[in-house]
């Protein structure tokens, strides 16, 4: 996925043990979500997209109502503009 290196970079959500950034290009958006805490967390943030596909689990991820992240986890969600 070229989205890992192409497009703009924006920090979306920053806490001591949680971090979300996005990369956006004319082809799509990558939303990278990290939880390094020793416990699960719920994060509310504006991803500026409704949903995408988690590139690790290959499952659909929606952002409506925030996202629940397990302890010490990462989620890389890709939203394709061109379908």
What pLDDT score does 60 carry?
Answer: 96
pLDDT digits (tens, 9 = 90+) for 12-33: 999 999 999 999 999 999 999 9
In angstroms, the Cα distances linking 9 to 3, 22, 26, 71, 72 are 10, 6, 13, 25, 23
Rounded Cα–Cα distance for residues 80 and 29 (Å)? 7
* pLDDT level of residue 83 (50, 70, 90 thresholds): low
Whole-model pTM: value is 0.91
What pLDDT score does 33 carry?
Answer: 98
Sign of CA dihedral 57, 74, 41, 78: negative
Percentage above 90 pLDDT, the chain: 83
The mean pLDDT value for 48-61 works out to: 95
């Amino acid at each position: 996925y070229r989205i890992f290196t192409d497009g703009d970079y924006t920090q979306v959500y920053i806490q001591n043990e949680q971090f979300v950034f996005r990369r956006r290009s004319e082809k799509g958006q990558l939303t990278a979500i990290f939880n390094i805490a020793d416990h699960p967390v719920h994060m509310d943030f504006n991803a500026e997209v409704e949903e995408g596909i988690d590139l690790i689990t290959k499952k659909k991820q929606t952002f409506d109502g925030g996202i629940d992240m397990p302890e010490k986890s990462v989620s890389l969600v890709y939203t394709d503009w061109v379908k």
